[in-house]
A and B are shown apart, each in its own frame.
Chain A
Amino acid sequence: EIVLTQSPGTLSLSPGERATLSCRASQSVSSIYLAWYQQKPGQAPRLLIYGASSRATGIPDRFSGSGSGADFTLTISRLEPEDFAVYYCQQHGHSPWTFGQGTKVEIK
Chain B
Amino acid sequence: QVQLVQSGAEVTKPGASVKVSCKASGYTFTNYYIHWVRQAPGQGLEWIGVIDPRGGSTVYAQKWQGRVTMTRDTSTSTVYMELSSLRSDDTAVFYCARAAAVSCFDPWGQGTLVTVSS
- Looking at the complex, which one of B46, B59, B103, B111 makes contact with A99 (CB distance below 8 Å)? B46
How does the 8 Å CB contact mask read for B86-118 relative to A, with 1 for contact and 0 for none? 000000000101010011111111110000000
Contact B103 A96 (CB under 8 A): no
CB distance from B26 to the nearest CB of A (A): 14
How does the 8 Å CB contact mask read for A18-56 relative to B, with 1 for contact and 0 for none? 000000000000000101010000001111001000001
- Which residue of chain A has the shortest Cβ distance to B105 in the bound complex? A47
Q: Given that A45-B95, A92-B99, A97-B35 are contacting pairs, would A56 and B44 also be in contact in the complex, using a CB cutoff of 8 Å? A: no
CB neighbours of A46 from chain B (8 A): 107-108
B: number of interface residues (CB 8 Å): 22
CB neighbours of A90 from chain B (8 A): 45, 104-105
CB neighbours of B105 from chain A (8 A): 35, 37, 45, 47, 90, 92
Chain A stretch 50-108: residues in CB contact (< 8 A) with chain B: 50, 56, 88, 90, 92-93, 95-102
Contact A96 B47 (CB under 8 A): yes
CB neighbours of A33 from chain B (8 A): 102
Contact A47 B107 (CB under 8 A): yes
Contact A96 B61 (CB under 8 A): yes
Contact A44 B111 (CB under 8 A): yes
CB neighbours of B46 from chain A (8 A): 99
- CA–CA, A96 to B45, complex, Å? 13
Contact B45 A45 (CB under 8 A): yes
Contact A92 B103 (CB under 8 A): yes
Contact A88 B62 (CB under 8 A): no
Interface residues of chain B, those whose CB is within 8 Å of chain A, are 35, 44-47, 50, 59, 61-62, 95, 97, 99, 102-111
**Extra pairs beyond A56-B106, A100-B44 (8, CB < 8 Å):** A44-B108, A47-B107, A88-B44, A88-B45, A90-B105, A92-B99, A92-B102, A96-B62
Q: List 14 A-B contacts (CB under 8 A).
A: A35-B104, A35-B105, A44-B107, A44-B110, A45-B45, A46-B108, A50-B104, A56-B106, A88-B44, A92-B103, A96-B47, A97-B47, A102-B44, A102-B45
